[in-house]
Each structure stands twice: as structure tokens, then as C-alpha cells.
Structure 1
Amino acid sequence: MSAEPMPTTTPAAAVVAAGDGDFTKAKLTLALSHICAVADLDPSGAELLRLTNNAVFRLARHPVVVRIVASRALRHRVEKVVRVASWLAEHDVPAVRLLSGVEQPVRVAGHVATLWETVPHGGARPDGRDLARLLRRVHALPVPPFPLPAWHPLDDVRRRVDEAEGLDEADRRFLLRRCDEVEGRIRELDFALPPKLIHGDAHLGNLIPSPAGPVLCDFDSSCIGPPEWDLTPLAIGVVRFGEPAGRYRQLVSTYGLDVTQWDGFGVLREVRELKLITSVLPIMVSHPEVRPELMRRLDDFRRGDTSARWSRYT
């Protein structure tokens, strides 16, 4: 439920610190125990499913997923996540549901978290058609009555850079300078579609299969913005991660728009790649195993190598 899923599954009781940063697995596991105490839940046997911008734990003794923000600079998004999830539920959009009976978000022991109902196992693996159908439903919703931020996709990139653990000063300056350059190009874009409520990080990793069909998750980046942005992540997944091109063709045929044929796509690609590069900056010391891939991505981006394949953070 982040810019890029991190496919790790680790027994929470067995995790140990891999570094000295603020978000080691040991510290996050301790935070999980405090959060569960507030919600009267048992964290015993929980599994760490994912760790980039958030630590996502699945409880073993309750049908509950706990999502702990693993970035101090991005905690401002969590109130919005709760509002958007409630709005989607109100309009019966297939999406993960907040755990009822608990005031959310939960703030305890210096951490911020949200608690979610576990999605039942079953159903086919989501594909591009599923993503397109869900995006069309989200984009068709009325503008919510509560305040939502406008689309400023590089704000979170800058926050991650400012919070980065162990980032070289030259790399920091490069990333911030590139953000300024790309932001200038964003202001010159002429979007074909009117602004809507958008998911903001719409890739197949943010669809969860269920017996009733796929459901959306991860509303950290939701905002009022151009629907074209929601069509971009899957296109980038094909060129950077080698995802099957057929999945993107499914998205195009079902949604009805090929964003790669739009003259502003190159700018959106740069924005997406900046997000993919910087997603683990706040945990780079806490989890040093991400550093080699992060630096390889940064080097490719700096050199303008648009064909290099990237690996998922592991």
C-alpha cells in the first residue's frame, strides 16, 4: 500500500534491528504492541507484510491489518486516508474498509497507525482490466465534501529527501534540483481530462484479490488531480520492472485512454520515477538492504537511462 510493494513476510515476534534508524523492524514491532493495546487486540504472531512508507502488519489472532506510518514527514497524510476510505465505503466502491469500533487514526507511543479489516482470501489475480474498472468508479465519484489536497506529487518526494537516512549531500541536492525542474514542466501541462478524486498510486500492487473481486487499498496519495496520473504507474511498471505489456493494454482498452500517447507522458514518467527512487529514503539506515537498489535507480535516473530495468525492493 505504497508507491511500490515490498514483498516481505516476516514473523513479527522474530524481527530484529537491521540498522540504527528510527524505523527498524524491532522498533516497529514494539509500536505494533502499543497500537494493539489501544485497540484491545492481540499482536502475537503478527506478520510484517510490507515496509516502505508504511509498515503493514497482519494480525494472526484477529482479521485485522495494522498500517504504521514509517516516515515522520508523511504522517500528515493519515487523516486524509481515513476520510477517503470512509468516502469510498459510503459510495460502495470496492476498497479496503477501516476497522469499526476504533477511533482512527490511532496515535500512540510516537507512532501513527490505521487499522483495517482483513480482505478475505480468494479470487483471481487482478489484471489491467480490474484496475481500469476500479479507477473509472473512483473517477466518476463526486468531489468529496471534505477538504482534499490538490495534486502536488513532488511534495512527498521532497519530504522524503528532507527526512532521508544516510543520503549523500550531492544526491540530496540533485534530487531537490530535479524536483524543481520537473515541477516547472508540470505547470506547463495541458491535461485532457478534468480534475477528479484520484487514487494517486494506482498500480496492481494496490489491488487485493477477494472472492467478490479485487479491492483497492492505499490512499496515501489520494487527492484532487488529473486522472491521467492514475494511468501512469502501470505503464512505468512495464518499462522499469518488466511487467507484462498486456496488462497495460488491458488498462487502455477498458479505461479508454492510452496515457503513453499523450504528449505530457514524459513528464509524468519522471514524476513517477522520482517517487519510485525515493520511496525508501526514510528507512535507508534502518534497513540497509534497500540501499544498493536505491542507488542503482538513482544512477540510472541521473544518467537519463530510460531503458534500465529495476528490481523490486526486497
Structure 2
Amino acid sequence: MTLAQEAETEARAVLDEACRTAGIDASGAELMRLGENALYRLPGRIVARIARAGQAMAAAREVKIARWLEAHQVPAVQAVPGLEQPVVIEGRAVTWWVELPPHRHGTAIQVATALRRLHDLPIPTGFEIGRLDPFVRLTERIERAATLTEDDRAWMRKRLAALRTRWEVLPAGLPDRVVHGDAWIGNVVGTDDGRVVLLDLERCSVGPPEWDLTSTAVKAFTLAGISTDDYRRFVASYGHDVITWQGFETLRDIREFRMTCMAAQVAGENPVRHPEIVHRLACLRGQRGPRPWTWQAVP
């Protein structure tokens, strides 16, 4: 049995037990994605999300955030109402969400509009939303990067320490707001019923709005995933260009490093992905020329 098969078997066992606990029908459950989280489609337009071990508090906070956004009429993924969430099975938090209608990645303008609406909200007072931590789980991912050499891991540890120092001395920018925390284009979608919906709220917190804006700038100028014209439309729609801020390069470098650490984690679980982490590290080390770089998506 491969590592991926083992992970799927473990996730399905957790799902079955969680559904029994919550009184939800798990018959015919369909695996949608097996990555950072495992997603299953269930009867009744319910999507079950199974987090990695140790994420129960984050999962509970995500449900609260989703319900807070719904109360403020901000279109976002909706937690199934009437259920106590999460259910924790063998250390893994399971939450349930209303399945979206057919949808696609948001356009640059849709992302900008969604972020503008989110950033205009008042900071919640009814629960502790937490402060943005751009380095969450990075040490764990570095240490578990089983396909990397010790020299590579040593370089990543040093890079992480340097980025932490730079984060601590960021220049003044926009006032802190509620931020999405992982606002790349795939986490803002346009649905067939005409909505623009925020997904994956687990990093939602209070922090600099520039963190959210940097994701689209990285998409444009690190990865050439959208055109410069699309980026200009994004800036015009949101009303602020993060690239003009003196702290932008720090946030860009942190975002690129997070993406590299994710690739390291994926390669550790699926060695077929190892060439991608080698390539990303070479880019960060200046061995693949200037940006933009071509990075392959990892789950």
C-alpha cells in the first residue's frame, strides 16, 4: 500500500466514525481531495473536511469565522447549521460544510472585490479570532521533509529565521484588519449562481491587509499566473497596490517560502513530487534566474 493509499484509508476511517458521532449519513462518500485536508462529498450536499492531527482549535475557530461572515452577509463557505463542530476523532478535527454549486477560480477583479469587502468588516468581538501567523507549521514541514538533504533543511531553517526577523521590523502600512490569510485566486471562486465566495478560512485572522494582497502580486510577478493587465485591474478594483509598499518584498519572500515548504511536505509524503521542491529551492537560492519562475502545482 502506498503512502497516499494509507492516508486515504485513515481519513475514511476517521470520516466514518465522525459521521456516526454526528448522525450524518456517510454512505457513498466520495473523496474530492487528499492534500493538506481530506475532503469528502456526502449525501445531502454536505462536504466533510478532515484536518490533520492537532488542528482541533483551528477547526473550531474556522467554523466560528464562517458563521460570523454569514451574519455579516459576506459570501463564504457555509458551515452546516445545527451541528456541533468540530468532531474530533483520533486527534483529527472533522467539520461539515454546505457544498457549493459548480464554480471556478475567481478573476483578479473578483478576488479584489471579495478582499475589499472582507477588509472593510469590523474586527469581531464575540470570539477570539487570533492574530495572523505567517510562519504557522513551517518548522514542522521543514523537519518532516524526508526527501531533502540535511544541507537543504539547514538552509531552510536559516531562511526561516531570517524571514522571522524581517517580519518583526515591517514598516508601517495599512491598518490591521480581518484578513483571509491565504487569499490566492483558488480560494476565491465564482459560482454558477452568480456569487463570489471565500473558501478555506482556516488562516483567517487579524493582520496587515497587505498579506492578502501579496498573494495576487506573487501570482502575477513570481509565477506569471496572471497577466500584468489582470494585476492592474486587481489594484484598480481594490484601491491599493501592495508592490509600492516598502514591506512588500518581505511579504513576497515569506509567501514564496510558504509555498516551498508546502512542496517539501508533499514530497515527503509522495516522493514523486521531489523534483518540484528541488526546483523551488533552487529558485529561492538564485539558481534559476530572476522571477517569474515556473512552479508546478502540488496538492
Tell me: higher relative CO, structure 1 or 2? Use CA pairs within 8 A at least 6 residues apart: 1
Pick from 92, 98, 109: which aligns with 1:129?
109
Whole-Å separation in 2 of the counterparts to 1:280 and 1:25: 19
Asked whether 1:267 is paired with 2:247, we answer no
Q: Would the aligned equivalents of 1:20 and 1:285 in 2 still touch at CA under 8 Å?
A: no
Asked whether 1:19 is paired with 2:35, we answer no
Q: Would the aligned equivalents of 1:24 and 1:287 in 2 still touch at CA under 8 Å?
A: no
Asked whether 1:161 is paired with 2:145, we answer no
1:28-177 to 2 correspondences below 5 Å: 28-59=11-42, 61-70=43-52, 72=53, 74-121=55-102, 126-145=106-125, 146-177=127-158
Whole-Å separation in 2 of the counterparts to 1:239 and 1:74: 32
Q: Would the aligned equivalents of 2:147 and 2:274 in 1 still touch at CA under 8 Å?
A: no
Specify the alignment match of 1:214 in structure 2.
Answer: 196
1:201 Cα offset (Å):
0.6
Q: Would the aligned equivalents of 2:55 and 2:93 in 1 still touch at CA under 8 Å?
A: no
Q: Structure 1 residues 279 and 273 mapped into 2: Cα distance closer, same or farther (>3 Å)?
A: same
Q: Deviations for 1:236-273, whole angstroms, at most 9, x for unmatched residues? A: 12234431223322211100111122222111111101
Q: Deviations for 1:258-304, whole angstroms, at most 9, x for unmatched residues? A: 11222221111111011111125445443333332223212322336
Specify the alignment match of 1:309 in structure 2.
Answer: 294
Q: Deviations for 1:31-69, whole angstroms, at most 9, x for unmatched residues? A: 22222222333334433333332112222x220111111
Whole-Å separation in 2 of the counterparts to 1:41 and 1:142: 35
Specify the alignment match of 1:13 in structure 2.
Answer: none
Aligned residue identity for 1:274: F
Whole-Å separation in 2 of the counterparts to 1:110 and 1:230: 30
Q: Structure 1 residues 241 and 31 mapped into 2: Cα distance closer, same or farther (>3 Å)?
A: farther
Aligned residue identity for 1:134: A
1:76 Cα offset (Å):
4.2
Q: Partner of 1:24: helix, strand, or coil? A: helix
- Normalised by the size of structure 2, how large is the TM-score? 0.88
> Which stretch shifts more, 281-290 or 74-83?
281-290
Whole-Å separation in 2 of the counterparts to 1:258 and 1:53: 30
Whole-Å separation in 2 of the counterparts to 1:47 and 1:139: 35
Stretches of structure 1 lacking an aligned partner (at least 5 in a row): 1-16
Whole-Å separation in 1 of the counterparts to 2:17 and 2:270: 22
> Where do 4+ consecutive residues of structure 1 move more than 6 Å?
none
Specify the alignment match of 1:10 in structure 2.
Answer: none
Q: Would the aligned equivalents of 2:54 and 2:91 in 1 still touch at CA under 8 Å?
A: no
Aligned residue identity for 2:176: P
Asked whether 1:238 is paired with 2:220, we answer yes
Stretches of structure 2 lacking an aligned partner (at least 5 in a row): none
Q: Partner of 1:231: helix, strand, or coil? A: helix
Q: Would the aligned equivalents of 1:58 and 1:66 in 2 still touch at CA under 8 Å?
A: yes
Q: Deviations for 1:124-156, whole angstroms, at most 9, x for unmatched residues? A: 752111111111111111111122222220133
Q: Partner of 2:47: helix, strand, or coil? A: strand
Aligned residue identity for 1:128: A
Q: Partner of 1:221: helix, strand, or coil? A: coil
How many residue pairs get aligned? The number is 294
1:78 Cα offset (Å):
1.6
Whole-Å separation in 1 of the counterparts to 2:268 and 2:10: 13
Q: Would the aligned equivalents of 1:94 and 1:216 in 2 still touch at CA under 8 Å?
A: yes
Whole-Å separation in 2 of the counterparts to 1:64 and 1:213: 19
Q: Partner of 1:215: helix, strand, or coil? A: strand
Whole-Å separation in 1 of the counterparts to 2:236 and 2:267: 39
Aligned residue identity for 1:193: L
Whole-Å separation in 1 of the counterparts to 2:81 and 2:98: 8
Q: Partner of 1:279: helix, strand, or coil? A: helix
Identity of aligned residues (%): 33
Whole-Å separation in 1 of the counterparts to 2:110 and 2:232: 12
Q: Structure 1 residues 120 and 214 mapped into 2: Cα distance closer, same or farther (>3 Å)?
A: same
Q: Partner of 1:303: helix, strand, or coil? A: coil
